[in-house]
Structures are given as C-alpha cells and as structure tokens.
Amino acid sequence: MSSLVARTASKMASMFRVVGVALDNAGKGMEVTKYSEKLVPSTRFVALDDVVPKVSDECFVAPSASVIGDVTIGKHTSVWYGAIVRGDVNS
C-alpha cells in the first residue's frame, strides 16, 4: 500500500512541477517591462584614502548600494537599494 502511495505522490509532484514551469514561462511571456539589474559587486564597498568601510556581519546592505570611505555600519542596520553612504567629508 505504501508503495502505491509513494508512486502516486511522485507522479503528482512531477505533474505539479510541469504545471509550475508552464505557468512560470507563461508569466515571463506576459511581462511588459523586462528589467534586469546589472551589478558590479566590486563597487559596493569602496576604500577611500586607504580607509575601508567597517560593515557588521549582522546588517543588510543592498546589492545596488555603495558604502564609501570612513563609514561604520553596525548591527541590525540596513542600507537600502540605490543608497550611497559616504564617509569622506568631516571625518
């Protein structure tokens, strides 16, 4: 009995996967604006005058954000998309 249940579950999972891929492809075809963000990871954290930003492992820095110079980003903080945090004046 359990073998029949396992085979049925496997067939249903396969059917759901096929339907999911078909729906995903249909959705891609209906997109009006196809936007793809091209990021240059090397520009996220930029040293300025040999001073590298200090960034906590427990923070969020968006892929399109830039942190430049004498900046400290602490725990539980975030720098959102497109933001630029500069530490090159009055530091």
Phi and psi at residue 37, to the nearest 5°: -85, 120
Provide the pLDDT for residue 77: 94
Q: Please give the Cα distance from 57 to 62 (Å, whole number).
A: 13
Distance CA 22, CA 71 (A): 47
More confident residue, 24 or 40: 24
pLDDT tens per residue across span 8-19: 888 899 999 999
| Cα–Cα distance measured from residue 41 to residue 6, given in angstroms and rounded to the nearest whole number | 45
- HSE on the CB side for 71, CA within 13 Å? 22
pTM of the model: 0.51
Over 80: is that where the pLDDT of 71 sits?
yes
How many angstroms from the chain centroid is the CA of residue 69? 23
Arithmetic mean of pLDDT, 63-69: 89
Residue 73's pLDDT is what?
93
Residue 35 is predicted with a pLDDT of: 66
